[in-house]
C-alpha cells in the first residue's frame, strides 16, 4: 500500500509539473536589439537614410517593429538635409527601446520643439535610426553639427 501511495504521489507531481509547462506562458520571444552607438553627429548623418529638420506636431497611430509597438508622429519638415523626403509633413515612427517597455524614459518625439531627425526606412515606414540617437533638439539658429557634403 505504501508503494502504491508513493507511486501515486510521484505520478500526481509529475502530471502537475508537466501540465504546468502548457498552462504557464513561456518566456517572451521579443527581439532585443543591440543598438549601435554613434560617437559623433557626423557618424549619425553618414549612416542615416534620411536626415531632416522638423517638428513633431501630433501622434498618428502605431506600427509594430521587433515585436513592439512604435508611436507614429506627423512631423512638419522644415528642411531635408539628406534622403528622398520632401518638405511638408511626413510620418515618422519613434524607434522603441525593446527588451522591456517601448519608451521607458518617454518617447523622444513627444519632446516638442524643433529637432534633427536621423531616419531609416523599414517596411515602407520611416523610423528614427535608434531609440536614443534618432532625434535631438535643434533650436533655431543652431549650426549643423555635421557636414552635408
| pLDDT tens, position by position, 12-29 | 333 443 344 334 444 445
For residue 1, is it within any domain?
A: no
Domain enclosing residue 52, as ranges: 41-137
For residue 35, is it within any domain?
A: no
* C-alpha 67 chain-centroid distance: 10
| pLDDT tens, position by position, 107-136 | 999 988 999 999 999 988 999 999 999 999
| pLDDT tens, position by position, 74-87 | 999 999 999 989 88
- Asked if 128 and 93 count as a contact pair (C-beta separation under 8 A), the reply is yes
| pLDDT tens, position by position, 39-75 | 999 999 999 999 999 999 999 999 998 888 999 999 9
In this prediction the pTM is 0.77
CATH code for the domain in which residue 70 is found = 2.40.50.120
For residue 143, is it within any domain?
A: no
- Asked if 94 and 134 count as a contact pair (C-beta separation under 8 A), the reply is yes
Hey, what's the cell of 23?
498552462
Q: In the chain, how many domains are there? A: 1
Amino acid at each position: 500500500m505504501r508503494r502504491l501511495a508513493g507511486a501515486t504521489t510521484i505520478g500526481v507531481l509529475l502530471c502537475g509539473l508537466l501540465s504546468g509547462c502548457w498552462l504557464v506562458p513561456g518566456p517572451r520571444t521579443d527581439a532585443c536589439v543591440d543598438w549601435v552607438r554613434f560617437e559623433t553627429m557626423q557618424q549619425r548623418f553618414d549612416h542615416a537614410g534620411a536626415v531632416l529638420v522638423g517638428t513633431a506636431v501630433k501622434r498618428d497611430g502605431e506600427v509594430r517593429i521587433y515585436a513592439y509597438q512604435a508611436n507614429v508622429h506627423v512631423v512638419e519638415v522644415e528642411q531635408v538635409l539628406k534622403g528622398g523626403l520632401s518638405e511638408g509633413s511626413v510620418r515618422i515612427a519613434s524607434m522603441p527601446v525593446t527588451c522591456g517597455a517601448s519608451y521607458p524614459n518617454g518617447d523622444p518625439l513627444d519632446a516638442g520643439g524643433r529637432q534633427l531627425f536621423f531616419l531609416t526606412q523599414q517596411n515602407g515606414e520611416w523610423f528614427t535610426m535608434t531609440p536614443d540617437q534618432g532625434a535631438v533638439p535643434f533650436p533655431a539658429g543652431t549650426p549643423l553639427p555635421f557636414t552635408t557634403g
